[in-house]
């Protein structure tokens, strides 16, 4: 056991002593003897008290910045002259202090304004400060825990349920190239595992089986994917990362992980989990963004794939980078990103809008993703995929996600096209009902955004709070399920000014937290800048801002105003009206016919994959 210390705490400051009081409390708790002198104690008296009480440490505090050198220098001189230094260490800290200044003045140590109480206690006790032990560990958040997934509103439950049942039955009779590719991919993964376990005994046989499966897989792929597999060339702007780069990346991650201090930016809240999006085009630059985001307190990261990848039949293989938004989904890219994540980081791989949805979720689950993203309505109304194809693929995807226990958010980004929130919520709730019937764990993802519909109707002319709260209120009224506002929060409120952008993001995130959201996705402060890639530093801007907003609001709650409650009631009526309108045609036909978002709204059924659905 460490020897107990005798510590004198001296505020050589006209009024400030709060820092010393906090340190004293911690030292007392650790069993040390302490004495705290009042502010403005003359240096002579402080030295005398130190000698009389035979202290081992004198902790001097100084907050005000005028005459710092004179006052502290005088104290050190007096301590020297009285022989105090022979038995005691002299330490100084406070707002006006820097370690260099402390050394210059003759102190044994100096602590600046960012010092924690734990650091000072560690110094007094003569041990190395270990922030990993001192700070709260950041466990991986169990994002769907505590939700019953019970519908609270019987009307919506019934209407969404009927549509879900019919949709599942309809999809069960159909298949698509993506559904079949996912099957082949699964078999390829199983073969790889078998080859690893059996060693060389069945190598030739397994290799033949693998080659056969690849041929079948490639027969369902677009030409550019086939060319890449046959080593005949990659798409324009795409290159394979070298083995040396892969090796260097692994070392880089190791260096990043050394001594990283787990940090929560949620202050006293366990939720919401704070997610950031990445997708620079290069998986290695993505990993740099991820490591920075982790270090500055992000709880989770979201993988963005390129929009062209979503319109391509088949997935590429290899460590691939390309110059453009979104990072290519390949088994190797996902594996190396997965292996670079800190253990506490939640990882979401989006799969919601394209022609590779089932296979993406299968791969993501296999390599360790925690979450994915599925919404057939957005995938076809805002994501460019044919509705029939998207629904067949989406139902299969939900089955895969359920098999792996992979929760997924049901994003409603069609609101950004102009679709009113109530219509987007109606289709989201149908997908949720489908998911629950198939054993899935969906998370509702309303947008916290200034959408075109909001702008036209003036819902946010006064403030950004009421309408966003109305969205949460109505969803909480309908079902007990996790709600994850996104994506990112504050969409269309951001400008290129990083201060404005960060503040807007932080306030939206804090609003979500105070309203009981499970998770929240935030942008970088480059959100509104389109002249180049998002810079790593811009991620720090918003994470710092969010941390400050959570610190500001703490565990305080926010109540919906009358206006918010009225809008929630209007949203509810719209949801029920939309679900009723869809009953006659069913879910898929309603997507084509604009029930869940029409051309007038700004939603257009996509065409990618049109005509590829087959009856089983």
Partner 1 sequence: MEMGFAEHVLDAVDIETLLKCDTEADARRMVIEWLKSLGLNDVDVVFLEHTPVGTRVRARAYLYRPGDRYPWLSRKDGARAEGGSVACEG
249 lies in the binding site for partner 1 (CB under 8 A): yes
Please tell me the count of residues contacting partner 1 according to CB under 8 A.
29
Stretch that binds partner 1, among 59-67, 241-249, 362-370, 588-596 (CB under 8 A): 241-249
**Shortest separation between residue 242's beta carbon and partner 1, angstroms:** 9
d(Cα 277, Cα 536) in Å, to the nearest integer? 12
What does the per-residue mask of binding to partner 1 show for 311-330, with x meaning CB under 8 A? Answer: ----------xxx-------
Helix, strand, coil percent values for the chain (each to nearest 5): 50, 10, 40
- Rounded least distance, CB 526 to partner 1, Å: 8
Distance CA 389, CA 605 (A): 11
Q: Which of 531, 559, 600, 611 is the binder for partner 1 (CB under 8 A)?
A: 531
Helices and strands (H and E) in the chain: how many? 24, 18
On whether the CB atoms of residues 349 and 364 are closer than 8 A, the answer is yes
Residues 413-442 that bind partner 1 (CB under 8 A): none
- Is 248 one of the binding residues for partner 1 (CB under 8 A)? yes
- The token duo for 600 is 């007038």
Asked if residue 497 binds partner 1 (CB under 8 A), the reply is yes
Smallest gap from residue 127 Cβ to partner 1 (A): 27
Residues whose CB falls within 8 Å of the CB of residue 91, separated by 6 or more in sequence, listed in order: 57, 58, 59, 60, 102, 107, 108, 109, 110, 111, 120, 123, 124
Minimal distance in Å, beta carbon 524 to partner 1? 12
Q: Which residue spans within 28-67 are E strands per DSSP?
A: 33-36, 57-61
233 binds partner 1 (CB under 8 A): no
Residue 493 binding partner 1, by CB under 8 A: no
Cβ proximity to partner 1, 282 vs 380, nearer residue: 282
Q: For partner 1, which residue of 101, 226, 536, 560 counts as binding (CB under 8 A)?
A: 536
Stretch that binds partner 1, among 160-168, 195-203, 310-318, 533-541 (CB under 8 A): 533-541
Report whether the peptide linkage leading into residue 55 is cis, meaning its omega lies within 30 degrees of zero.
Answer: no
Question: In terms of CB distance, is 309 or 418 closer to partner 1?
Answer: 309
- Strand-pair partners of 372: 349, 408
- 184 contacts partner 1 (rule: CB under 8 A): no
Q: Which C-beta is closer to partner 1: that of 466 or that of 527?
A: 527
Interface with partner 1, residue 96, by CB under 8 A: no
Least distance to partner 1 from the beta carbon of 259, Å?
A: 15
Q: Which of 326, 357, 294, 298 is nearest to 519 (CA)?
A: 298
Query: Is there binding between residue 458 and partner 1 (CB under 8 A)?
Result: no
Q: How many CA atoms lie within 13 A of 40 on its CB side?
A: 2
Q: In angstroms, rounded to a whole number, what is the distance separating the alpha carbons of residues 180 and 606?
A: 21
> Token match 């679900």: residue?
579
CB nearer partner 1, residue 321 or residue 412? 321
Nearer to partner 1, 122 or 285 (CB): 285
Q: Say how far apart CA 274 and CA 300 lie, in whole Å.
A: 6
- Our CB check for partner 1 shows the closer of 175 and 538 to be 538
Three-class secondary structure assignment of 455-478: HHHCCCCCCCCHHHHHHHHHHHHH
In angstroms, what is the minimal distance from the CB of 463 to partner 1?
A: 24
Question: What residues contact 403, with CB distance under 8 A and at least 6 apart?
Answer: 439
CB atoms within 10 A of CB 79: 23
Q: Does 288 contact partner 1 by CB under 8 A?
A: yes
Could you give the CA distance from residue 91 to residue 115 in angstroms, rounded to a whole number?
13
Among 463, 496, 555, 566, binds partner 1 (CB under 8 A): 496
Coil/strand/helix, residue 212:
helix
Q: Is 541 helix (H, G, I), strand (E, B) or coil?
A: helix
Q: Considering only residues 245, 317, 570, 585, which one is a binding residue for partner 1 as defined by CB under 8 A?
A: 245
Residue 425's nearest CA partner among 589, 576, 599, 592 is 576
Q: Are strands 57-61 and 89-93 parallel, antiparallel or unpaired?
A: parallel
Span 257-276, contacts to partner 1 by CB under 8 A: none
Q: How far is the CB of 382 from partner 1 (least distance, A)?
A: 25
Closest CB 338 distance from partner 1, rounded Å: 18
- 315 in Cβ contact with 272 (< 8 Å): no
Contact with partner 1 (CB under 8 A): which of 344, 535, 561, 598? Answer: 535
538 upstream amide cis, omega within 30 of 0: no
Of the listed pieces 214-222, 278-286, 374-382, 557-565, which binds partner 1 according to CB under 8 A?
278-286
**Contact between 234 and partner 1 per CB under 8 A:** no
CB of 245 vs partner 1, minimal distance in Å: 7
| 282 touches partner 1 by CB under 8 A | yes
Of 106 and 533, CB closest to partner 1: 533
Q: Does 533 bind partner 1 (CB under 8 A)?
A: yes
Report 105-144 residues binding partner 1 (CB under 8 A): none
Residue 520, Cβ neighbours under 10 Å: how many? 29
Kindly state the smallest distance separating residue 319's Cβ from partner 1, in Å.
12
Q: Please report whether residue 281 would count as binding partner 1 according to CB under 8 A.
A: yes
CB of 42 to partner 1, least distance (A): 45
Sole binder of partner 1 in the list 532, 562, 600, 616 (CB under 8 A): 532
Neighbouring residues of 21: CB distance < 8 A, sequence distance ≥ 6: 36
List Cβ<8 Å contacts ≥24 apart for 79-83: 79/47, 79/50, 80/106, 82/47, 82/48, 82/51, 83/51
Closest distance of CB 331 from partner 1, Å: 20
Chain residues in the site for partner 1 (CB under 8 A): 237, 239, 244-245, 248-249, 252, 280-282, 284-285, 288, 292, 321-323, 495-498, 526, 529, 531-533, 535-537
């Amino acid at each position: 056991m460490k020897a107990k210390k005798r510590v004198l705490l001296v505020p050589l400051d006209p009024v400030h002593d709060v820092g010393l009081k906090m340190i004293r409390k911690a030292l007392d708790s650790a069993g040390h003897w302490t004495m705290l002198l009042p502010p403005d104690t003359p240096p002579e008296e402080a030295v005398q008290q130190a000698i009389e009480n035979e202290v081992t440490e004198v902790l001097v505090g100084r907050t005000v910045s005028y005459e710092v050198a004179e006052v502290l220098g005088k104290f050190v001189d007096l301590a020297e002259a009285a022989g105090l230094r022979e038995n005691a260490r002299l330490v100084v800290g406070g707002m006006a202090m820097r370690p260099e200044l402390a050394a210059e003045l003759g102190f044994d140590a100096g602590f600046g304004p960012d010092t924690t109480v734990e650091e000072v206690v560690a110094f007094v006790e003569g041990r190395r400060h270990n922030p990993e032990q001192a700070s709260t560990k950041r466990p991986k958040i169990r994002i769907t825990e505590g939700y019953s997934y019970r519908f609270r509103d019987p009307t919506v439950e019934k209407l969404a349920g009927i549509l879900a049942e019919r949709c599942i039955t309809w999809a069960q009779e159909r298949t698509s190239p993506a559904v079949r590719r996912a099957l082949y991919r699964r078999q390829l993964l199983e073969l790889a595992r078998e080859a690893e376990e059996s060693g060389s005994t069945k190598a030739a046989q397994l290799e033949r089986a693998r080659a056969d499966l690849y041929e079948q897989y490639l027969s369902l792929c677009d030409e550019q994917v086939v060319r890449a597999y046959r080593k005949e060339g990659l798409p324009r702007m795409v290159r394979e990362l070298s083995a040396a780069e892969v090796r260097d990346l692994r070392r880089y991650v190791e260096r990043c992980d050394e001594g990283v201090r787990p940090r929560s930016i949620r202050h006293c809240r366990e939720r919401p989990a704070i997610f950031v999006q990445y997708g620079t085009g290069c998986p290695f630059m993505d990993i740099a963004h991820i490591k920075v985001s982790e270090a500055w307190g992000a709880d989770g990261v979201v993988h963005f794939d390129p929009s062209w990848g979503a319109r391509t039949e088949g997935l590429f293989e290899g460590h691939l980078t390309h110059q453009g938004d979104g990072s290519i989904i390949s088994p190797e890219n996902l594996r190396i990103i997965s292996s670079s994540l800190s253990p506490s980081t939640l990882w979401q791989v989006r799969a919601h809008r394209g022609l590779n949805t089932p296979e993406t979720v299968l791969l993501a689950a296999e390599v360790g993703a925690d979450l994915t993203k599925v919404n057939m309505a957005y995938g076809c109304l805002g994501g460019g995929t044919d509705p029939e194809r998207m629904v067949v693929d989406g139902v299969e995807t939900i089955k895969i996600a359920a098999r792996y226990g992979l929760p997924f958010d049901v994003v409603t980004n069609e609101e950004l096209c102009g679709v009113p929130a109530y219509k987007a919520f109606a289709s989201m709730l149908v997908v949720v009902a489908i998911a629950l019937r198939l054993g899935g764990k969906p998370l509702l993802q309303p947008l916290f955004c200034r959408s075109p519909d909001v702008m036209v109707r003036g819902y946010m002319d006064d403030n950004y709070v009421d309408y966003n709260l109305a969205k949460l209120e109505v969803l909480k009224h309908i079902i007990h399920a996790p709600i994850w506002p996104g994506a990112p929060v504050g969409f269309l409120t951001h400008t290129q000014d990083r201060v404005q952008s960060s503040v807007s993001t932080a306030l939206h995130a804090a609003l979500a937290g105070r309203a009981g959201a499970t998770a929240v996705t935030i942008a970088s402060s480059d959100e509104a800048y389109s002249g180049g890639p998002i810079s790593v530093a811009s991620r720090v801007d918003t994470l710092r801002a969010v941390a400050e907003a959570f610190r500001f609001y703490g565990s305080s709650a926010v109540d919906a105003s009358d206006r918010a409650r009225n809008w929630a009631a209007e949203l509810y009526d719209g949801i029920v009206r939309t679900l009723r309108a869809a009953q006659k045609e069913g879910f898929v036909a309603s997507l084509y016919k604009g029930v869940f978002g029409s051309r007038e709204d700004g939603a257009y059924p996509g065409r990618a994959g049109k005509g590829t659905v087959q009856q089983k």
